[in-house]
Protein backbone atom coordinates (compact mmCIF):
# COMPACT_ATOMS: atom_id res chain seq x y z
CA UNK A 1 0.00 0.00 0.00
CA UNK A 2 2.84 2.38 0.94
CA UNK A 3 4.55 1.61 -2.36
CA UNK A 4 1.40 2.46 -4.33
CA UNK A 5 1.05 5.77 -2.49
CA UNK A 6 4.63 6.80 -3.32
CA UNK A 7 4.05 5.96 -6.99
CA UNK A 8 0.77 7.87 -7.00
CA UNK A 9 2.55 10.84 -5.37
CA UNK A 10 5.11 10.94 -8.21
CA UNK A 11 2.24 10.91 -10.72
CA UNK A 12 0.43 13.77 -8.94
CA UNK A 13 3.62 15.86 -8.57
CA UNK A 14 4.19 15.29 -12.30
CA UNK A 15 0.70 16.59 -13.10
CA UNK A 16 1.28 19.71 -10.96
CA UNK A 17 4.73 20.32 -12.46
CA UNK A 18 3.25 20.02 -15.95
CA UNK A 19 0.22 22.15 -15.18
CA UNK A 20 2.16 25.01 -13.56
CA UNK A 21 4.98 24.70 -16.13
CA UNK A 22 7.63 24.45 -13.43
CA UNK A 23 10.07 22.58 -15.63
CA UNK A 24 11.93 24.13 -18.59
CA UNK A 25 10.28 23.58 -21.99
CA UNK A 26 13.26 21.63 -23.26
CA UNK A 27 12.76 18.86 -20.73
CA UNK A 28 9.14 18.48 -21.81
CA UNK A 29 9.95 18.29 -25.50
CA UNK A 30 12.52 15.52 -25.15
CA UNK A 31 10.76 12.25 -24.62
CA UNK A 32 12.86 10.27 -22.22
CA UNK A 33 10.02 7.97 -21.27
CA UNK A 34 10.77 5.40 -23.97
CA UNK A 35 14.30 4.82 -22.63
CA UNK A 36 13.04 4.64 -19.05
CA UNK A 37 10.47 2.11 -20.25
CA UNK A 38 13.18 -0.03 -21.88
CA UNK A 39 15.16 0.04 -18.64
CA UNK A 40 12.08 -0.81 -16.60
CA UNK A 41 11.15 -3.79 -18.78
CA UNK A 42 14.65 -5.22 -18.47
CA UNK A 43 14.58 -4.76 -14.68
CA UNK A 44 11.09 -6.26 -14.38
CA UNK A 45 12.40 -9.29 -16.28
CA UNK A 46 15.29 -9.66 -13.83
CA UNK A 47 12.82 -9.40 -10.94
CA UNK A 48 10.60 -12.15 -12.34
CA UNK A 49 13.52 -14.40 -13.36
CA UNK A 50 15.22 -14.16 -9.97
CA UNK A 51 12.04 -14.62 -7.90
CA UNK A 52 12.86 -17.63 -5.73
CA UNK A 53 9.22 -18.59 -5.29
CA UNK A 54 8.84 -18.51 -9.06
CA UNK A 55 11.85 -20.79 -9.56
CA UNK A 56 10.51 -23.37 -7.09
CA UNK A 57 7.16 -23.23 -8.85
CA UNK A 58 8.35 -25.02 -11.94
CA UNK A 59 8.25 -28.27 -9.93
CA UNK A 60 4.66 -27.61 -8.91
CA UNK A 61 3.18 -26.96 -12.33
CA UNK A 62 0.27 -29.21 -13.18
CA UNK A 63 -2.99 -29.03 -15.09
CA UNK A 64 -4.98 -27.67 -12.19
CA UNK A 65 -2.62 -24.83 -11.30
CA UNK A 66 -2.44 -23.67 -14.94
CA UNK A 67 -6.24 -23.39 -14.94
CA UNK A 68 -6.05 -20.55 -12.39
CA UNK A 69 -4.41 -17.82 -14.52
CA UNK A 70 -6.35 -19.07 -17.57
CA UNK A 71 -9.65 -18.62 -15.68
CA UNK A 72 -8.59 -15.15 -14.52
CA UNK A 73 -7.74 -14.05 -18.07
CA UNK A 74 -11.00 -15.43 -19.51
CA UNK A 75 -13.10 -13.99 -16.66
CA UNK A 76 -11.44 -10.58 -16.95
CA UNK A 77 -11.91 -10.51 -20.72
CA UNK A 78 -15.58 -11.53 -20.47
CA UNK A 79 -16.26 -8.89 -17.81
CA UNK A 80 -14.42 -6.18 -19.73
CA UNK A 81 -16.20 -7.10 -22.99
CA UNK A 82 -19.55 -6.63 -21.26
CA UNK A 83 -18.27 -3.26 -20.01
CA UNK A 84 -17.37 -2.22 -23.56
CA UNK A 85 -20.92 -3.04 -24.70
CA UNK A 86 -22.70 -0.89 -22.10
CA UNK A 87 -20.78 2.33 -22.82
CA UNK A 88 -19.44 3.94 -25.98
CA UNK A 89 -16.34 5.84 -24.91
CA UNK A 90 -13.92 2.93 -24.99
CA UNK A 91 -13.81 0.40 -27.83
CA UNK A 92 -13.63 -3.34 -27.19
CA UNK A 93 -9.89 -3.46 -27.91
CA UNK A 94 -9.14 -0.44 -25.72
CA UNK A 95 -11.13 -1.99 -22.88
CA UNK A 96 -9.38 -5.34 -23.28
CA UNK A 97 -5.97 -3.64 -23.25
CA UNK A 98 -6.76 -1.82 -19.99
CA UNK A 99 -8.13 -5.05 -18.49
CA UNK A 100 -4.92 -6.85 -19.53
CA UNK A 101 -3.05 -4.84 -16.89
CA UNK A 102 -4.42 -7.30 -14.27
CA UNK A 103 -3.61 -4.76 -11.55
CA UNK A 104 -0.05 -4.14 -12.75
CA UNK A 105 -0.68 -0.42 -13.08
CA UNK A 106 2.87 0.94 -13.41
CA UNK A 107 3.74 -1.24 -16.37
CA UNK A 108 0.37 -1.31 -18.14
CA UNK A 109 -0.15 2.46 -17.93
CA UNK A 110 3.27 3.23 -19.42
CA UNK A 111 3.00 0.60 -22.17
CA UNK A 112 -0.50 1.71 -23.16
CA UNK A 113 0.57 5.39 -23.14
CA UNK A 114 3.42 4.48 -25.51
CA UNK A 115 1.05 2.78 -27.98
CA UNK A 116 -2.29 4.62 -27.63
CA UNK A 117 -1.53 7.94 -25.95
CA UNK A 118 -2.00 9.51 -22.55
CA UNK A 119 -5.77 9.33 -22.20
CA UNK A 120 -5.93 5.54 -22.36
CA UNK A 121 -2.70 5.38 -20.31
CA UNK A 122 -4.32 7.32 -17.48
CA UNK A 123 -7.40 5.08 -17.65
CA UNK A 124 -5.09 2.05 -17.38
CA UNK A 125 -3.32 3.62 -14.39
CA UNK A 126 -6.51 4.42 -12.47
CA UNK A 127 -8.24 1.17 -13.41
CA UNK A 128 -5.38 -1.08 -12.37
CA UNK A 129 -4.66 0.81 -9.14
CA UNK A 130 -8.34 0.33 -8.33
CA UNK A 131 -7.95 -3.41 -8.93
CA UNK A 132 -5.14 -3.58 -6.36
CA UNK A 133 -7.04 -1.48 -3.80
CA UNK A 134 -10.26 -3.51 -4.27
CA UNK A 135 -8.26 -6.69 -3.65
CA UNK A 136 -6.60 -5.29 -0.52
CA UNK A 137 -9.95 -4.18 0.90
CA UNK A 138 -12.34 -6.94 -0.19
CA UNK A 139 -10.22 -10.13 -0.02
CA UNK A 140 -12.03 -11.33 3.14
CA UNK A 141 -15.42 -10.93 1.43
CA UNK A 142 -14.29 -12.56 -1.83
CA UNK A 143 -12.72 -15.51 0.02
CA UNK A 144 -15.84 -16.07 2.08
CA UNK A 145 -18.46 -16.01 -0.66
CA UNK A 146 -16.63 -17.00 -3.87
CA UNK A 147 -14.09 -19.60 -2.81
CA UNK A 148 -10.37 -19.62 -2.25
CA UNK A 149 -9.41 -18.68 -5.80
CA UNK A 150 -11.48 -15.48 -5.78
CA UNK A 151 -8.89 -13.23 -4.05
CA UNK A 152 -6.18 -14.61 -6.38
CA UNK A 153 -8.42 -13.73 -9.33
CA UNK A 154 -9.11 -10.24 -8.07
CA UNK A 155 -5.41 -9.64 -7.32
CA UNK A 156 -4.36 -10.67 -10.84
CA UNK A 157 -0.68 -9.89 -11.41
CA UNK A 158 -0.33 -8.40 -7.91
CA UNK A 159 -1.12 -11.80 -6.32
CA UNK A 160 2.61 -12.62 -6.50
CA UNK A 161 3.76 -9.67 -4.36
CA UNK A 162 1.75 -6.66 -3.14
CA UNK A 163 -1.52 -8.45 -2.38
CA UNK A 164 0.04 -11.85 -1.50
CA UNK A 165 0.18 -11.27 2.30
CA UNK A 166 -3.50 -10.40 2.62
CA UNK A 167 -4.53 -13.17 0.23
CA UNK A 168 -2.67 -15.92 2.12
CA UNK A 169 -4.03 -14.58 5.40
CA UNK A 170 -7.58 -15.28 4.28
CA UNK A 171 -7.29 -18.38 2.09
CA UNK A 172 -4.43 -20.14 3.88
CA UNK A 173 -0.75 -20.57 3.11
CA UNK A 174 -1.34 -23.82 1.21
CA UNK A 175 -2.79 -21.64 -1.54
CA UNK A 176 0.22 -19.27 -1.53
CA UNK A 177 1.98 -21.27 -4.25
CA UNK A 178 -1.06 -21.04 -6.52
CA UNK A 179 -1.28 -17.30 -5.83
CA UNK A 180 2.39 -16.69 -6.70
CA UNK A 181 2.18 -18.90 -9.78
CA UNK A 182 -0.88 -17.11 -11.11
CA UNK A 183 0.66 -13.69 -10.36
CA UNK A 184 3.91 -14.55 -12.13
CA UNK A 185 2.14 -15.87 -15.24
CA UNK A 186 -0.10 -12.80 -15.45
CA UNK A 187 2.83 -10.41 -14.84
CA UNK A 188 4.78 -11.92 -17.73
CA UNK A 189 1.69 -11.88 -19.97
CA UNK A 190 0.81 -8.19 -19.36
CA UNK A 191 3.18 -6.74 -22.00
CA UNK A 192 2.51 -9.57 -24.47
CA UNK A 193 -1.29 -9.23 -24.25
CA UNK A 194 -1.13 -5.43 -24.55
CA UNK A 195 1.16 -5.75 -27.59
CA UNK A 196 -1.21 -8.24 -29.26
CA UNK A 197 -4.41 -6.31 -28.48
CA UNK A 198 -3.32 -2.76 -29.41
CA UNK B 1 6.94 -2.99 -28.70
CA UNK B 2 9.03 -5.98 -29.79
CA UNK B 3 12.06 -4.27 -28.20
CA UNK B 4 10.12 -4.12 -24.93
CA UNK B 5 9.26 -7.83 -25.04
CA UNK B 6 12.81 -8.85 -25.97
CA UNK B 7 14.26 -6.74 -23.15
CA UNK B 8 11.94 -8.35 -20.63
CA UNK B 9 12.79 -11.84 -21.88
CA UNK B 10 16.52 -11.04 -21.66
CA UNK B 11 15.93 -9.78 -18.11
CA UNK B 12 14.16 -13.00 -17.11
CA UNK B 13 17.13 -15.09 -18.31
CA UNK B 14 19.67 -12.82 -16.57
CA UNK B 15 17.60 -12.78 -13.39
CA UNK B 16 17.40 -16.56 -13.45
CA UNK B 17 21.19 -16.88 -13.89
CA UNK B 18 21.98 -14.42 -11.08
CA UNK B 19 19.12 -15.37 -8.71
CA UNK B 20 21.51 -16.03 -5.80
CA UNK B 21 23.46 -12.73 -6.08
CA UNK B 22 21.72 -10.81 -3.30
CA UNK B 23 23.55 -7.51 -3.84
CA UNK B 24 22.81 -7.49 -7.55
CA UNK B 25 19.13 -8.21 -6.90
CA UNK B 26 18.89 -5.51 -4.24
CA UNK B 27 20.38 -2.98 -6.68
CA UNK B 28 17.96 -4.00 -9.46
CA UNK B 29 15.02 -3.76 -7.05
CA UNK B 30 16.08 -0.25 -6.08
CA UNK B 31 16.57 0.79 -9.71
CA UNK B 32 13.19 -0.72 -10.65
CA UNK B 33 11.45 1.51 -8.11
CA UNK B 34 13.17 4.61 -9.45
CA UNK B 35 12.42 3.70 -13.06
CA UNK B 36 8.73 3.40 -12.08
CA UNK B 37 8.84 6.74 -10.20
CA UNK B 38 10.46 8.47 -13.20
CA UNK B 39 7.95 7.00 -15.65
CA UNK B 40 4.92 7.88 -13.55
CA UNK B 41 6.30 11.39 -13.02
CA UNK B 42 6.68 11.76 -16.79
CA UNK B 43 3.17 10.40 -17.37
CA UNK B 44 2.02 13.01 -14.84
CA UNK B 45 3.89 15.74 -16.74
CA UNK B 46 2.17 14.90 -20.00
CA UNK B 47 -1.20 14.71 -18.25
CA UNK B 48 -0.59 18.09 -16.60
CA UNK B 49 0.00 19.70 -19.98
CA UNK B 50 -2.92 17.91 -21.66
CA UNK B 51 -6.09 19.97 -21.32
CA UNK B 52 -8.28 17.30 -22.83
CA UNK B 53 -7.41 14.91 -19.98
CA UNK B 54 -7.50 17.56 -17.24
CA UNK B 55 -10.98 18.74 -18.28
CA UNK B 56 -12.31 15.18 -18.35
CA UNK B 57 -10.54 13.75 -15.31
CA UNK B 58 -13.77 12.90 -13.50
CA UNK B 59 -15.22 11.14 -16.52
CA UNK B 60 -11.97 9.25 -17.14
CA UNK B 61 -11.79 8.17 -13.51
CA UNK B 62 -15.38 6.94 -13.57
CA UNK B 63 -14.72 4.89 -16.72
CA UNK B 64 -11.60 3.39 -15.16
CA UNK B 65 -13.36 2.34 -11.97
CA UNK B 66 -16.39 0.90 -13.80
CA UNK B 67 -14.12 -1.10 -16.11
CA UNK B 68 -12.27 -2.49 -13.07
CA UNK B 69 -15.52 -3.60 -11.43
CA UNK B 70 -16.46 -5.60 -14.53
CA UNK B 71 -12.94 -7.06 -14.78
CA UNK B 72 -12.88 -8.09 -11.11
CA UNK B 73 -16.42 -9.51 -11.06
CA UNK B 74 -15.81 -11.44 -14.31
CA UNK B 75 -12.55 -12.95 -13.05
CA UNK B 76 -13.96 -13.80 -9.61
CA UNK B 77 -17.01 -15.59 -11.06
CA UNK B 78 -14.86 -17.54 -13.51
CA UNK B 79 -12.38 -18.45 -10.76
CA UNK B 80 -15.30 -19.51 -8.56
CA UNK B 81 -16.44 -21.89 -11.29
CA UNK B 82 -12.91 -23.31 -11.62
CA UNK B 83 -12.66 -23.65 -7.84
CA UNK B 84 -15.97 -25.49 -7.57
CA UNK B 85 -15.16 -27.84 -10.46
CA UNK B 86 -11.48 -28.64 -9.81
CA UNK B 87 -10.28 -27.50 -6.37
CA UNK B 88 -13.01 -27.85 -3.79
CA UNK B 89 -12.75 -31.05 -1.79
CA UNK B 90 -16.04 -32.91 -1.87
Condensed to tens digits (0 to 9), the pLDDT of residues A69-102 reads 999 999 999 999 999 999 989 999 999 999 999 9
| Cβ within 8 Å, pair B37-A14 | no
Q: How many CA atoms lie within 13 A of A25 on its CB side?
A: 0
For the ranges A12-16, A58-62, A103-107, A144-148, which has the lowest average pLDDT? A58-62
Q: Which residue of A has its CA nearest to B88?
A: A147
Question: Does A56 contact chain B (CB < 8 Å)?
Answer: no
Question: Does A166 contact chain B (CB < 8 Å)?
Answer: no
Query: What pLDDT is attached to residue A174?
Result: 83
- How many percent of chain B have pLDDT more than 90? 47
Whether the full predicted model's pTM is greater than 0.80, yes or no, is yes
| Cβ within 8 Å, pair A90-B63 | yes
Query: What pLDDT is attached to residue B70?
Result: 98
CB B4 within 8 A of CB A190: no
The pLDDT tens digits of the residues spanning B50-88 come to: 888 888 889 999 999 999 999 999 999 999 999 999 988
For the ranges A50-59, A143-152, A172-181, B19-28, which has the lowest average pLDDT? A50-59
| Cβ within 8 Å, pair B71-A41 | no
Q: Is the pLDDT of residue A161 over 90?
A: no
Give the C-alpha separation, B86 to B90, whole Å.
Answer: 10
Residues of B in contact with A158 (CB under 8 A): none
Give the C-alpha separation, A68 to A86, whole Å.
Answer: 28
Query: What pLDDT is attached to residue A182?
Result: 94
CB A132 within 8 A of CB B68: no
CA A83 distance to own-chain centroid: 18
Q: Which uninterrupted H or E stretch holds A175?
A: none
Q: Where are the domains of chain A?
A: 1-30, 32-197
Q: Does this complex have an ipTM over 0.90?
A: no
Q: Is the pLDDT of residue A52 over 90?
A: no
Query: What pLDDT is attached to residue A25?
Result: 66
Q: What is the mean pLDDT of chain A?
A: 89
Please report which confidence band the pLDDT of residue A29 belongs to, taking 50, 70 and 90 as the band edges.
low
Residues of B in contact with A188 (CB under 8 A): 8, 12
Query: What pLDDT is attached to residue A158?
Result: 92
Within 22-61 of B, beta carbons closer than 8 Å to A belong to 25, 28-29, 31-33, 35-50, 52-54, 59-61
Average pLDDT estimate for A113-136: 92
CA distance A173 to chain B (A): 15
Q: Which of B68, B83, B87 to mutate to test the interface with A (most CBs of A within 10 A)?
A: B68
Amino acid sequence: MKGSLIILAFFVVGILAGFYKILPEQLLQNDYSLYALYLLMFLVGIGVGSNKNAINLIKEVNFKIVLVPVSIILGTFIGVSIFSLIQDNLSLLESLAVGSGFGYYSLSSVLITEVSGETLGVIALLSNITREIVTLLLTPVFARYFGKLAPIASGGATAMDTTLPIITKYIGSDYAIISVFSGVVLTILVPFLIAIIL
Amino acid sequence: MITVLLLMSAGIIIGWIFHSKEKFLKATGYLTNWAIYALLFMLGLSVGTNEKILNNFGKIGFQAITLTLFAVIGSILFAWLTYTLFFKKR
